[in-house]
Amino acid sequence: MKKILILIATLLLILAGCSTESNQDKAKKESASKTLTVSAAASLTDVTKALEKEFKKKHPNTNIKFNYGGSGSLRKQVEAGADVDVIMSANTTDVDQLQDKNKVSKVYDYAKNKLIIIKYKNSNIKEVRDVSSPNKVAIGEEKSVPAGKYAIEYMKKEDLYEGMTSTFVFAKDVKQVLNYVKKENAEAGFVYETDLYKGKNDKVNNVVKLSDAPIDEPIIYRAGLITNKKASKEWFEFLKTKEAKQIFKEYHFEG
């Protein structure tokens, strides 16, 4: 009888352990399903924080992790299998490439922007062609930063490119371009209109707009849905709401 009781007690402990392990696995899965990883272009650093705050009003238990960088670099990370749920690019090309490779199931154009040329506040240049070596013009890497590609497109259209290549200093994203100019390591740089602002209203210190840098095509920001998690779909659909559109407008993006 004693052996039977011991056997029963052992079985109960094993079952309890399995149940605990099962509950732990369930909790991990639930936690993972409520964690959202969004890879976003560097020019979205400020606005995404405001979007997160609004999103959490209806989804308070979703933990959002943002990964910022040049759109091309973010695309390559997704192609390499990075743990990303939604990509928010500063162009259409990188998301389209992911869709062509079946890495993205849905796309949505959520905002537009403008390319501009900036200089540091006390610079005497009147236009970007006034910059000559050894002084520098900061631009994003053409292959990984859409703003860099747009900048080169603009300079070629204006017959500036060939005469200015010796002035170029390349950056990993627009925030680094902004920093080069802000710290006067470059006399001018190509960024987006929205990069002039810290948050909604405050302007970036020691940086002023030199001129617009219009290109032939509009600069469209496109998002791509990568995973089918509930949280991923909720964020992707949230970008289409009037609340999200209003936040983009407040942060100087165009609809």
The pLDDT score that the predictor gives to residue 96 is: 98
H helices of the chain, where?
A: 2-33, 45-55, 71-79, 93-100, 146-157, 161-164, 174-182, 230-238, 242-250
* Domain ranges (residues) in the chain: 34-113+220-250, 115-212
* 71 marked as part of a ligand binding site: yes
The pLDDT score that the predictor gives to residue 31 is: 44
Output b/e per residue, 14-51; b: 16+ Cβ within 10 A: eeeeeeeeeeeeeeeeeeeeeebbbbbbbbbbbbbebb
The pLDDT score that the predictor gives to residue 28 is: 43
Rounded Cα–Cα distance for residues 146 and 124 (Å): 28
Enumerate residue ranges in the chain where pLDDT < 70: 1-33
Nearest 5°: CA angle at 152, between 116 and 109? 65
* 192 marked as part of a ligand binding site: yes
pLDDT in tens, 88-147: 999 999 999 999 999 999 999 999 999 999 999 999 999 999 999 999 999 999 999 999
* 171 close to 138: Cβ distance less than 8 angstroms: yes
CATH 3.30.70.240 holds for 34-113+220-250? no
The pLDDT score that the predictor gives to residue 199 is: 80
Rounded Cα–Cα distance for residues 69 and 211 (Å): 25
Q: How far is CA 223 from the centre of its chain?
A: 10
**Structure tokens that stand for 82 in this block:** 């990075």
The pLDDT score that the predictor gives to residue 78 is: 98
CATH 3.40.190.10 holds for 115-212? yes
Which element (helix H / strand E) includes 222? Answer: strand 219-225
The pLDDT score that the predictor gives to residue 87 is: 98
**Structure tokens that stand for 83 in this block:** 């743990």
> Torsions phi, psi of 47, nearest 5?
-65, -30
The pLDDT score that the predictor gives to residue 8 is: 52
* 187 close to 123: Cβ distance less than 8 angstroms: yes
Cis ω before 134 (30° cut-off from 0): yes
The pLDDT score that the predictor gives to residue 255 is: 74
Asked if domains 34-113+220-250 and 115-212 share a fold, the reply is yes
* 147 marked as part of a ligand binding site: yes
